[in-house]
C-alpha cells in the first residue's frame, strides 16, 4: 500500500474514533488554556515574535559562518564536533563511539532528532540497551510506539491507558494514581543513570558565541543523562543555531510559553563541553553531532528556507484542526502536524511525502501562533506547487485539470454537455473523495450563462 493510501485509511479511522478524539481534545485543550494564561506575561508578544523571526532568519541566511564559529568555540574547551551529512553517517559515528567505549547501556533524554535517524532501533540491533528517561518518551517506548507529538510524546494516552500499560509491562499492581505511576517510573530509571556508560541528548539551541548546547526540559532527566555517564553525545540539527547566549532570554520564554504555557521551562541548561579541571561533575568526553539530513537542500530554496526557523514548540500542532482529528501517528513521520507537513517532504523525499502538504485546510491558524512567524500555510502551498512542477500529480488529476482548463476557456465546450451528464461525471470522479461522506454534487439544470441569456431576452 502506498503512503498516501495508508495515510487516508489511518486518517479516516482516527477521525471516527470518538475515544481517541476525546482524549486529544482534552489534552490539547489543557495546553491551549495554559498557553493563553502564559501569554499574559508579554506586554508585546507580537514584538517578541518579530525579533525572534529576525534573529532566526539572519542565522539561517548565514548558517555556514555560525556553524564554524560554534565548532571553534566548542572544541576550544575540549569538545569534539562530528559533521554528519545524513542519518546513515550519524549512526555510523555513534556506533564507532559505542564500540570505543565498549558501551552496553545508554540513557537518553527526549530528542526528536534521534527519532528522525531511528537511533534506538540501530543501537538495539547492535546489542546496546537504550532507555528513554523522559516520562512521556518512556511510556511510548514501553508501548513500542513512536512519539505522538513533538512536545508531548504520549498525548494520545489517557491515565487509564498508561496505568494498564504499566501493569502489563512492569508487572505493578493495578492503580490509576498518577503520583504512584510517576514514582514507579522514577524508581526504575534512577538505577539506569548510574549504570549507563553513555548519555545521549538532542539540543534545543546551539550557541555560536560560547560553543554551547542549550537543553530545556521539565523533569531533570536531561541533566541526569549528561552528568552521570562518562560520555555525552548531543545530536543536533544544524538549523538549531542562535548567534549568542544572550538570545536565550528571548527564545527560552517563547519556546516554553508557545509549547506548554509556562513562563519558562523548569530546567534550562547550557553545556559547553566536557568537565573542566575546576568542575565537580559532568562527562569526561562530550561529542556534538551536527546533522544535515536534508536541511541544506531546504536551505538552498530561498522561498522555503524559513521552515528551518522552527524551534519545535508544537504550537502549530495544538491549533491545527487536521492534527486534532487525525492524530500524530497518522502522518507516519518523525515530525507531524503543519510544520512536519512542510519539512518532511524535504527531509524524507517529496515523492513519498507530498500528500502531507495536501493534508491541510490552509486556515492559517498555524501561522498565527508560530513564535518565530513562519508562514506555514504558504509553505504548504509552495510544496504542493513544487510537487506538481516535478510531475508528481496523479494521472487522473492531471487529466481532470486539463479537461477543466480547456472547458473553462471555451463557453461553447462548457455548454456542450447537458446538466445530467455533468452530474454523472462529477459523481464518478468524486465517488472516493467528496461523495464518500457528503451528498453528491448536482449540476443545476441551467447554467448561469443560460439564465442570463433568458433574462436578457
DSSP character at residue 41: G
8 A C-beta contact, residue 106 and residue 196: yes
What pLDDT was estimated at residue 1?
A: 67
Residue 8 CA: distances (Å) to CA of 4, 86, 99, 320, 388: 6, 29, 43, 17, 20
Strand ranges (E), 72-149: 80-84, 105-108, 129-132
Q: Return the domain boundaries, the chain.
A: 1-41+303-393, 43-293, 400-456
> Strand 205-207 and strand 212-217: pairing?
antiparallel
Cβ neighbours of residue 313 under 8 Å, at least 6 residues apart? 150, 151, 254, 255, 258, 259, 371
Instruction: Give the whole-angstrom CA distance, residue 317 versus residue 297.
Output: 24
Q: In whole angstroms, how far apart are CA 27 and each of 12, 174, 318, 339, 420?
A: 21, 23, 9, 20, 48
* pLDDT digits (tens), the chain, 457 positions: 689 999 999 999 999 999 999 999 999 999 999 999 999 999 999 999 999 999 999 999 999 999 999 999 999 999 999 999 999 999 999 999 999 999 999 999 999 999 999 999 999 999 999 999 999 999 999 999 999 999 999 999 999 999 999 999 999 999 888 999 999 999 999 889 999 999 999 999 999 999 999 999 999 999 999 999 999 999 999 999 999 999 999 999 999 999 999 999 999 999 999 999 998 889 999 999 999 999 999 999 999 999 999 999 999 999 999 999 999 999 999 999 999 999 999 999 999 999 999 999 999 999 999 999 999 999 999 999 999 999 998 888 888 888 889 888 988 888 888 889 889 988 888 888 888 888 989 999 988 888 998 888 7
Tens of pLDDT, residues 53-107: 999 999 999 999 999 999 999 999 999 999 999 999 999 999 999 999 999 999 9
Closest C-alpha among 324, 250, 312, 322 to residue 32? 324
Looking at residue 357, what is its pLDDT?
A: 96
What pLDDT does 314 receive?
A: 95
Closest residue by Cα to residue 366 from 302, 318, 324, 328: 318
Residues whose CB falls within 8 Å of the CB of residue 144, separated by 6 or more in sequence, listed in order: none
**Domain 43-293: CATH superfamily, name plus number:** NagB/RpiA/CoA transferase-like (3.40.50.10420)
User: Residue 408: which H helix or E strand, with range?
Assistant: helix 395-408
Provide the 3-class DSSP secondary structure of residue 129: strand
- DSSP string over 208-232: TTTTEEEEEESSSHHHHHHHSSSEE
Task: Tell me the average pLDDT of the chain.
Answer: 94
Amino acid at each position: 500500500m502506498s503512503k498516501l493510501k495508508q495515510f487516508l485509511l489511518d486518517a479516516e479511522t482516527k477521525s471516527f474514533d470518538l475515544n481517541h478524539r476525546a482524549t486529544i481534545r482534552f489534552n490539547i485543550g489543557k495546553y491551549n488554556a495554559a498557553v493563553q494564561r502564559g501569554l499574559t506575561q508579554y506586554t508585546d508578544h507580537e514584538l517578541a515574535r518579530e525579533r525572534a523571526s529576525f534573529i532566526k532568519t539572519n542565522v539561517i541566511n548565514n548558517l555556514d559562518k555560525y556553524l564554524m564559529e560554534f565548532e571553534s568555540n566548542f572544541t576550544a574547551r575540549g569538545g569534539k564536533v562530528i559533521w554528519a551529512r545524513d542519518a546513515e553517517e550519524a549512526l555510523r559515528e555513534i556506533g564507532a563511539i559505542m564500540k570505543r567505549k565498549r558501551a552496553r547501556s545508554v540513557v537518553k533524554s527526549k530528542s526528536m532528532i534521534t527519532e528522525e535517524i531511528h537511533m534506538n532501533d540501530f543501537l538495539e540491533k547492535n546489542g546496546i540497551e537504550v532507555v528513554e528517561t523522559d516520562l512521556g518518551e518512556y511510556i511510548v517506548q514501553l508501548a513500542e510506539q513512536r512519539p505522538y507529538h513533538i512536545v508531548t510524546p504520549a498525548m494520545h494516552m489517557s491515565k487509564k491507558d498508561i496505568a494498564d500499560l504499566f501493569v502489563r509491562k512492569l508487572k505493578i499492581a493495578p492503580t490509576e494514581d498518577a503520583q504512584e505511576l510517576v514514582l514507579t517510573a522514577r524508581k526504575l530509571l534512577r538505577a539506569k543513570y548510574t549504570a549507563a556508560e553513555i548519555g545521549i541528548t538532542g539540543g534545543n539551541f546551539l550557541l555560536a558565541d560560547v560553543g554551547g548546547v542549550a537543553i530545556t526540559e521539565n523533569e531533570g532527566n536531561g541533566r541526569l543523562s549528561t552528568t552521570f555517564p562518562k560520555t555525552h553525545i548531543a545530536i543536533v540539527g544544524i538549523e538549531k543555531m542562535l548567534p549568542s547566549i544572550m538570545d536565550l532570554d528571548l527564545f527560552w520564554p517563547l519556546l516554553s510559553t508557545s509549547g506548554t504555557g509556562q513562563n519558562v521551562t523548569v530546567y534550562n541548561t547550557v553545556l559547553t563541553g566536557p568537565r573542566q579541571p575546576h568542575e565537580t561533575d559532568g562527562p569526561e568526553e562530550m561529542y556534538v553531532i551536527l546533522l544535515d539530513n536534508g536541511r541544506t537542500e531546504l536551505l538552498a530554496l530561498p522561498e522555503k528556507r524559513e521552515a528551518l526557523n522552527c524551534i519545535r514548540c508544537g504550537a502549530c500542532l495544538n491549533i491545527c484542526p487536521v492534527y486534532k482529528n487525525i492524530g500524530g501517528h497518522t502522518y507516519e513521520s518523525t515530525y507531524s502536524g503543519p510544520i512536519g507537513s512542510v519539512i518532511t517532504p524535504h527531509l524524507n523525499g517529496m515523492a513519498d511525502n507530498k500528500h502531507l502538504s495536501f493534508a491541510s485546510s490552509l486556515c492559517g491558524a498555524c501561522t498565527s501562533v508560530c513564535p518565530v512567524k513562519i508562514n506555514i500555510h504558504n509553505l504548504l502551498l509552495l510544496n504542493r506547487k513544487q510537487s506538481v512542477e516535478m510531475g508528481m500529480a496523479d494521472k487522473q488529476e492531471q487529466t481532470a485539470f486539463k479537461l477543466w482548463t480547456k472547458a473553462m476557456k471555451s463557453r461553447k465546450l462548457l455548454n456542450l454537455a447537458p446538466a445530467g451528464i455533468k452530474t454523472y461525471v462529477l459523481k464518478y470522479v468524486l465517488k472516493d473523495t467528496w461523495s464518500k461522506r457528503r451528498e453528491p454534487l448536482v449540476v443545476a439544470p441551467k447554467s448561469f450563462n443560460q439564465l442570463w441569456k433568458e433574462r436578457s431576452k
